A and B are shown apart, each in its own frame.
Chain A
Amino acid sequence: MKYDTVVIGAGLGGLMAALSAAERGKKTLVVSRGMGIITIFSGTIDILGYYPVQDTAPLSSPREGVERLISEDPKHPYARVGVEALEKGMSFFQEAVAREGVTYVGNLDRNFLVPTAVGTIKPTAFLSKRMEAGDVREESDVLIAGFRGLKDFYPAYMAHNISTSTVPGVSIPHFRGRVLDVDIGADGSGMSALTLARKMEEDAMIQAIGRALFCQVRDGERIALPAVLGIRGGDEVFRRLEDMAGTRIFETPTLPPSVTGYRLYRALESRVRASGIRLLIGYDVHDPEIRGGRVAAVNISMGKKTKRIEGDTFVLATGGLVGRGIITDRKSTLEPIFGLPVSGPSRRNEWFAERFFDPSGHPINKIGLEVDDRLRPTGDGKKHVYENLFACGAELAGYAALREKSGGGVTIASGFKAGRLAGEL
């Protein structure tokens, strides 16, 4: 089989790369072992929350933060991607998911400050429209409503702890927690957020919850709910509940598996299919064939069946340590498909800081592939290893996504740019 562009990995970065390559008219394939880690995480797209990373006050303008970061930290992926690709990539992302009924709001010039399920406050630049009303700078008080029998969401915990959270210059409104007296059909084993989100598509459930909310909510209060308002894109469940409750509602992401992440993945996946991109999930990618400084083909296997895939360009979007784009053992670190040089500490006793919550992060957080300005992995000589191999997302070296709150931004921007460059070659 032969494609113009072969994207390895079906996470946020891989799907963005595929969409932007396909937009250039390229015949594109996405091949992946699994469906990426979007479904695990909260579905917010962080651009830059803190800079310098040790700062305790969130950045008000991600754009200004990124510009400063690019001038001060040339090894950061944002320095390779550039603000322009970040801005275009985010618009491209918003349009892509909007066409599948999932609305993301936000821009580079401000961070939302949204409450988390443990009552901390997190800066993030783009989020599902269903989370927008949660910004703690809004003055109105908040009713946090949970459900008896739903696992992993505790209104009292969230409310109690948010009263102790502080953000410089922000006066946080009052939050109170209530467990709604609604029968969600839990069987005592603890219902997962995904199951409840599916049930929320039923009319009777919307009616029951809408009524319960209307009874509980006080004048002037907003309502926080766990992120369970429907499993599909489209805002019907959300809008009907807001109408019935008579006030604004926002969703709060819960422990994995995450409904917001799931909706985002489904939207991107269906956009990818609608764009004529072939999507192969469940395949191991191995044994690349190299000819004249270029990747000519890769082999893919499911069980004992192996196929050879030729391509003009390849995008490596296999993720970082969680996605297994980088693997480790007791003695070493490795990029397992191409054996590309991995940047970062190789010796195990240098991988971690002494404290789990070390504000600068663990050295291993920054492990990954170094790339040139065209996002091609470089060897020790700073020259690209293969002319037609690009990399994006968590696989890139040089950033501490979780502490900077930059994961989504780096992944979308680098995925978008890698796909465009691959599509232009």
Chain B
Amino acid sequence: MELKTEVLVIGGGVTGAGVARDLVMRGIDTILVEKGDLAAGATGRCHGLLHSGGRYVIKDQESAVECIKENVILKRIASRTIEDTGGLFVSLPGDDESYADRFLAACDAAGIQTQVLSLSQALRLEPNLSREAKTVVKVPDGAVDPFALTIDNARDAARRGCRILRHTKLVGIDVEKGRVTGAEVHDRVTDERHHIRTKRIINATGAWAGHVAGLAGANVPLTLSKGSLLIFNRRINNTVINRLRPPGDGDIIVPNEPTSIIGTTSITVSDPENFTVTKKEVDLMMKEAGLVLPPSAEARVIRAYAGIRPLVAAQDADSGRDISRSFSILDHGKQDGVRGFYSIVGGKLTTYRLMAEKMVDVVAEEMGVHIPCSTASEPLFGSEDGEHYRLEDRFTSIETVEEGEEQEGKVEEIVCECELVTKDEVLKVINEMKTSNLNDIRQRTRVGMGSCQGGFCTYRLLGILHELDMVPQYEANEILTSFMEERWRGIRPVLWGDQLREEQLVEGIYLGIFALDKIQPLGKKASKSKK
């Protein structure tokens, strides 16, 4: 198939989705291609922290100012995806107390509102906080759902005419006489190749930016920095907890839905796809969490994961922590002699909108389009009412539905007990998206994201898909075993105590009752295409 567009955006993370939305809002015809699922790279593997800027305020004032401005904008335009938790910066015995004074002064200068709390005020807000806390400063941090934020951007863009091709991989870029003329893409579901005629390509592929640039004969110098995180099985804190000290490993804990997430580490890696969370990282984060939130030592960790930060390379930094989190826009026409090819790299979830705006400014200018950016004022589809997400609403709504329907003698079938996801919610996603992809369903319902990590409900999802005669590309058992392997990567580093015990039970189901251990894993067989 031959497609044509004014601008082709590569990458369905939050940056790519934000760029695509900004483009179509300025009347520019756009296609976005993503090789897997939306938010599958660093976007979906971060803390979900909406920075106030406090984190960067001393070392990188510029980033801090960007953060607080975007924080205010996103709370308005993406309200549905944000839980306005607030955040605390907390110093503990042994931390340099002069840091607190410099922190408060720098926040003032950057425009970040602060409030120094007494210990008793802090404990009322955050009962699990260490009684040893010395200085506690309240800031406007928040928790943002990176999946929802990306999906809402993509959905909003699609409503405005952007074509979004998921599970479609860029395989080649055509360059003629120093100008982009098109791209070759591979639809991994139908196994078909398409050609896209376009004069402009925006590379928003994060850790893969160097690889994608290489297809055009261009260069993006990146340092890849692995950030590992742990998810606790319960919500230990209600606000974002930061350490009031120079940024280090394992010093931020973000409440996320019914869980809490601690991170991160910062380790330079070479491959954006093959990496693991090490025992040393797990032990370090458990120790740091225990210092600031003592009950975390007894909490169960349900998963470890890591994202790869694409940091704009600096020659002399080796840990990644010192490289600016600010972003870069590369015009490869000027840089490598490939006109119409641009890369947007670096940055962070909180500043995705600003990054998109700056990127699209450059492209619009080149196209002679003079419509200004309006993403800072126009709410995303679904966030028009400006209401923030509230965890309690989710559970209240399940209860209300049950109460309401009980009167008619009907209750909901729960597919995922850990996250209380009902069969109707799952069916809605399957029908609306016409999807049989487990990740699509998971991202939109949280099915399988609770303490058993899909141990029970994945089988149920496949059963439901079979009932609907929506058998995916591969045999269900290959999908199931592959899913279990992928899941294993995340839970293997955090198995001890009760969580290990539960995992042994899951192993008992999959090997004892289901005898799935002699099935060939996905990919070992030749891939079957559905034609």
Seen from chain A, the residues whose Cβ lies within 8 Å of a Cβ on chain B are 37, 40-42, 56, 116-122, 151-154, 156-157, 160-161, 164, 179, 187-190, 253-256, 258, 320-322, 324, 327-330, 348-349, 351-352, 354-357, 359, 364, 402-403, 405, 407
Contacts and interface: CB of A to CB of B under 8 A. Distances in A.
Contacts of B413: 151, 188-190
B459 A118 contact: yes
Nearest to A154: B463
A330 B477 contact: no
Q: Please name the 3 residue pairs, one residue from A and one from B, whose CB atoms are nearest each other, closest first.
A: A154-B463, A356-B488, A122-B515
B516 interface: yes
A220 B151 CA distance: 52
Nearest to B480: A118
Contacts of B271: none
Interface in B483-499: 484-485, 487-488, 492, 495-497
Interface stretch (B16-24, B67-75, B404-412): B404-412
Contacts of A118: 459, 476-477, 480, 514, 516
Residue of B279, B462, B513, B521 with highest tally of chain A CB at under 10 A: B513
B367 interface: no
B514 A120 contact: yes
A41 B515 CA distance: 12
15 contacts: A40-B505, A41-B513, A42-B513, A117-B513, A151-B460, A161-B477, A320-B504, A321-B500, A322-B505, A330-B497, A352-B492, A355-B485, A357-B521, A402-B512, A405-B515
Interface stretch (B178-186, B236-244, B342-350, B464-472): B464-472
Residue of B409, B412, B517 with highest tally of chain A CB at under 10 A: B517
Interface string B387-417: 0000000000000000000000111111000
A250 to B, nearest CB: 16
Nearest to A179: B467
Does more than half of chain B's interface fall in helix, strand or loop, or is it mixed? Answer: helix
A327 B469 CA distance: 43
Contacts of B511: 357, 402-403
Does more than half of chain A's interface fall in helix, strand or loop, or is it mixed? Answer: loop
A156 B507 CA distance: 24
A156 B423 contact: no
A355 B423 CA distance: 30
Interface in B502-531: 504-505, 507-519, 521
B283 interface: yes
A335 to B, nearest CB: 15
B443 to A, nearest CB: 22
B467 A190 contact: no
A343 to B, nearest CB: 17
B481 interface: yes
A214 B519 CA distance: 34
A135 to B, nearest CB: 14
A120 B515 contact: yes
B411 to A, nearest CB: 4
Contacts of A359: 517
Contacts of B469: 156
Interface residues of B, number: 51
B476 A157 contact: yes
B496 A156 contact: no
Contacts of A321: 500-501, 504
B474 to A, nearest CB: 10
B411 A188 contact: yes
A138 to B, nearest CB: 19
A108 to B, nearest CB: 20
A364 B492 CA distance: 12
Contacts of A324: 501
B286 interface: yes
A82 B516 CA distance: 29
B456 interface: yes
Contact of B512 (A42, A151, A161, A329): A42
A120 B519 contact: yes
A105 B481 CA distance: 31
B311 to A, nearest CB: 28
Contacts of A355: 485, 488
Given A41-B508, A355-B488, A187 B466 contact: no
Contacts of B497: 327-330
B71 to A, nearest CB: 36
A190 B500 contact: no
Nearest to B469: A156
Nearest to B464: A154
A258 B409 CA distance: 27
B466 A255 contact: no
A18 B504 CA distance: 26
B485 A322 contact: no
A164 B475 contact: yes
A356 B496 contact: no
B488 A154 contact: no
A354 B486 CA distance: 11
A362 to B, nearest CB: 8
A109 B504 CA distance: 30
Interface in B410-437: 410-414, 423
B1 to A, nearest CB: 31
A99 B223 CA distance: 71
Contacts of B508: 37, 40-41, 322, 402
Nearest to B283: A330
B460 A152 contact: yes
A149 to B, nearest CB: 8
